[in-house]
Amino acid sequence: MTDLVPPPDTGPVAEQTYSRRGLIQHLLGIGATGLAAAVGGASALEVISTPLLGSANGSDAKRKFRYGMVIDTRRCVGCKACMVACKTENKTPSGVSYTVVVDNEHEHPDGKPLFMTKPCFQCEKPPCTDVCPVGATFKREQDGIVAVDYDRCIGCRYCITACPYQARYFDFGENYPAQAVGSTLGSIPSPEYKQFRKRTKEDSPVGNVRKCTFCLHLQDDKGNYDKQAGRWPSCAKTCSGHAIFFGDFMDRESDVSRMLRERQAIRLKEELGINPNVYYLL
């Protein structure tokens, strides 16, 4: 894998913006009073936007896909099935979770708690790639997924510090009891990056930084996923509340593009200008 330059943003061509006061009033009006607290503070939410994403232009000719997620906060029930499915699919050890479910300590006025899942946000301008001293983490040119080259990663963890969403984890070599080296379960290789690495104490990914990749190992040789065939990110495929939607934002007929046209959505910490590819429906 090689270091790649992130493509130019194909972000919103139409958007609605609110002042902070207007945003707070809007969230109160729709019963989303705990949303800011659930994702790390009110400063995370500066802009509400409804993007209309189209196909790549001439300056982005090599970009075939813009994969991302739309997560419906009304549907998420906090069951954490997505977390279990992700661990089962990617064979991640203890201390490494590619997606987490945020359980809001505050409650809505109607008494209902707020849950939401947080994968890697696959930013268009990822700060994690800028700080890597060896180019081990990079943005894939063809689909925008941010990946890690385990053979190049030196475990410095600068990218963990740079990620504003806390979506990266360091593999310290720990295992669940059932995953112990030499056990039946521990001998099953991980399909990540289609490399099928077996977990050992000395070899990668132990000692590396790890993250969600939208299960890119399920893509075919042309970079396509197949939902009907089950080749779909495990969290979206397993979500019991049907709250996680995955697809290509460059396809205007995809589920994710359609939902952004039909519902109002936010992107977390949008004021940073890094253009995450995960949206939350209010």
**Measured in whole angstroms, how far is the alpha carbon of residue 255 from the centre of its chain?**
17
Q: How far apart are CA 47 and CA 23, in angstroms?
A: 8
Q: Give the Cα-Cα-Cα angle 46, 50, 56 (nearest 5 degrees).
A: 115
The answer to the question of residue 9 being in a domain is no
Q: Domain with 77 in it: what CATH number? A: 3.30.70.20
**Residue 4 placed within a domain:** no
What pLDDT score does 122 carry?
Answer: 98
Answer whether residue 130 is part of any domain. yes
2 in any annotated domain? no
pLDDT at 2: 41
Rounded alpha-carbon distances, angstroms, from residue 250 to 10, 44, 53, 121, 189: 9, 26, 6, 16, 33
Residue 3 in any domain: the answer is no
pLDDT at 249: 97
Q: What is the mean pLDDT of each run of 10 residues along the chain (282 residues)?
A: 41 40 49 44 35 41 90 92 96 94 67 84 97 97 96 97 97 87 81 92 92 97 96 96 96 95 93 96 88
Domain housing 79: 20-281
Check: CB of residue 6 under 8 Å from CB of residue 125: yes
pLDDT computed for residue 190 by the predictor: 94
pLDDT of residue 243: 95
How does DSSP assign 223-268, residue by residue?
S--BTTTTBS-HHHHH-TT--EEEEETT-TTSHHHHHHHHS-EE-T
Residue 164 lies in a domain: yes
**What pLDDT is stored for residue 57 in this prediction?**
40
**Tokens 């190992």 sit on residue:** 217
Does residue 195 lie within any of the structural domains? yes
Domain count within the chain: 1
- Cβ neighbours of 99 (radius 10 Å): 22
Q: What is the pLDDT of residue 111?
A: 64
Q: Is residue 225 part of a domain?
A: yes
